A and B are shown apart, each in its own frame.
Chain A
């Protein structure tokens, strides 16, 4: 390689160092599992199952990542998703509505009400954080507890199951061989990426996350920016709920609680700085794919899924140690 083109690589590295770590890890993971699992890992069916599993975690991770970008965190995403899911399921199981509405209309009504709920929850989070000034960890810790309580109260701890076929189709069917959940996930990733990079309020999210004071002096309405971000985070949690309940064919308080910390992990692994101000959606997608491939590869190898969890933790620690070394060197 000539010196000049090496210089270009260096510039690219400086601008987006995370891609430089994630893409090789992605390729290495892919290669390792493909070799060690001949005919099993690098197959259409395996990728299809990854494409069915990834969207739930993926959408929730985006919901988490955008709040981290603004310098905050949203611990209530899973609780929001569960409550939205419960509300959707309750509507779809309501006797009087089932009798009067067609399947499609019923599902649409349920989804609209469920998503509206999640938007309202996100909005409330935003108000508490931006207008009252509570630290995001504490504010969303509180709403998380409250929402979990409401979920348990409305279901009395039971599972609501047996959803209409139209609903089940959303999470389990494919269009042109691509799972619907995956299509939803990719659309969301593109829209959010577009929002963050190409619109005023999206870019403001980066600015508020890197220096809230400076953003304020620059004429950016930081409160409005945060309010928008937490509202969108709530909405995304609601969309994740649609996929979640249709894949489980049920709704209940406490589903997927272990995902909460995984979304933080996936965001940090994908280059989102917990202190705010940096992170890109494409890198996040690589991060999610790596995590999901590790999970499915280990599963195919017959290794317990719990070890995958341990491995995720280890990967994150190693990545942070490497990043730390890089920081010290520069």
Chain B
């Protein structure tokens, strides 16, 4: 129990709980199944990508290029199914395939260029974005085939009055991705090796872990989820635009860091990441429901990021000071 209080997830959860209670009292529409389903559906693509970012951060890496990866996957997926037809499975297959390929390229570069991955992925972000804009000429895509526009609701449940609540495909994928990623990180050897690499890279090398393969997997998985997330996003908004996802990279990182992952690697959990995304989603929702001008959303978010990282840093400092104390007889 005492370890619970040390955990970041606990405090984040507490803040979210307070927000939820506050919003349920002040508004009628917040704590309704429709609102919550819609809210999490609209954040599902970011959530899917955040799961990938979590894995990258745990391994001690960073990826700023995943939004470009996602947008490229989206364009190629959209143009292909518009031209040649297909089905939903093929759409996801294309998205995931392109995502994995670009992710692996990142992994390759990160492994061979011994420079902070932030710099490397800034370079690939510029590269991917430039190529995307050049080939797409910045055009939007609207004319999806009809089958792509159908609602693919997975589970439908009714309330006592017979009202039907569907769980949309993007939301369903988000949940599956969270479960799979959580399982991967916690229970598989691969996941534990990723934690180990993020905790002490040199020691992982000495244990004989194949760091190259791990790096490829981590960035490949990020790419894979960027691809999947991008198709989920296209399903939701039914358009593909060059600037719909690009530019959100720091939002995703902020959500994962709020959820307790460290930029130094080695720590972070799926539950934390989910709470981080939930926090961001609830704030944006609160602003709308309370009728506050939507500009306030970013101010709240910025203030919360600054406060939370400041508290973490300050606590760390205090702990260091305490550790140094001596028992003076």
Of B112, B116, B129, B305, which contacts A138 at CB under 8 A?
B305
Contact of A11 with B by CB under 8 A: no
B299 lies within 8 A of A153 (CB): yes
Complex CA–CA separation, A146 to B309 (angstroms): 14
| A143 close to B (CB within 8 Å) | yes
CB pair B302–A312 under 8 Å, yes or no, is no
Chain A residue nearest to B118 (CB atoms) is A274
The answer to whether A310 touches B298, judged by C-beta atoms less than 8 angstroms apart, is no
Contact A148 B114 (CB under 8 A): no
Of the candidates B131, B137, B313, the one having the most CB atoms from chain A within 10 angstroms of its own CB is B313
**Shortest Cβ distance from residue B241 to the other chain A in the assembled complex, whole angstroms:** 15
The answer to whether A147 has its CB under 8 Å from any CB of chain B is yes
CB distance from B325 to the nearest CB of A (A): 19
Pick from A105-113, A240-248, A257-265 the stretch touching chain B.
A257-265
Please measure, in the bound complex, the distance between the C-alpha atom of A317 and the C-alpha atom of B125, giving whole angstroms. 11
**Residue B176 interfacial (CB < 8 Å):** no
Residues of A contacting B: mostly: helix
Q: How far is the CA of A316 from the CA of B122 in the complex (A)?
A: 9
Given contacts A138-B263, A274-B119, A327-B114, contact A145 B133 (CB under 8 A): no
The yes or no answer to A321 lying at the interface (CB within 8 A) is yes
B314 lies within 8 A of chain A by Cβ: yes
The residue that A137 contacts in the complex, of B128, B263, B310, with Cβ under 8 A, is B263
Supply 22 A–B pairs (Cβ within 8 Å), ascending by A.
Answer: A134-B312, A138-B257, A138-B309, A141-B254, A141-B305, A142-B303, A146-B305, A148-B302, A149-B301, A149-B302, A268-B119, A274-B115, A275-B116, A306-B132, A306-B134, A310-B129, A312-B130, A313-B123, A313-B124, A313-B130, A320-B113, A321-B112
Q: Which residues of A contact B (CB under 8 A)?
A: 75, 128, 132-135, 137-139, 141-150, 152-153, 156-157, 257, 261-262, 264-265, 268, 274-275, 304, 306-314, 316-317, 320-321, 324, 327
Q: Which 10 A-B pairs have the closest CB atoms?
A: A146-B302, A310-B130, A149-B298, A313-B127, A313-B126, A309-B130, A145-B302, A149-B299, A306-B133, A142-B306
Given A146-B305, A265-B123, A275-B116, 17 further pairs, Cβ under 8 A: A133-B314, A137-B118, A138-B257, A142-B302, A142-B303, A142-B306, A146-B306, A156-B295, A157-B295, A261-B125, A261-B126, A304-B134, A306-B132, A307-B130, A310-B128, A312-B126, A316-B119
Interface residues of B (CB under 8 A from A): 64, 109, 112-116, 118-120, 122-134, 137, 247, 250, 253-254, 257, 263, 293, 295-303, 305-306, 309-310, 312-314, 316-317
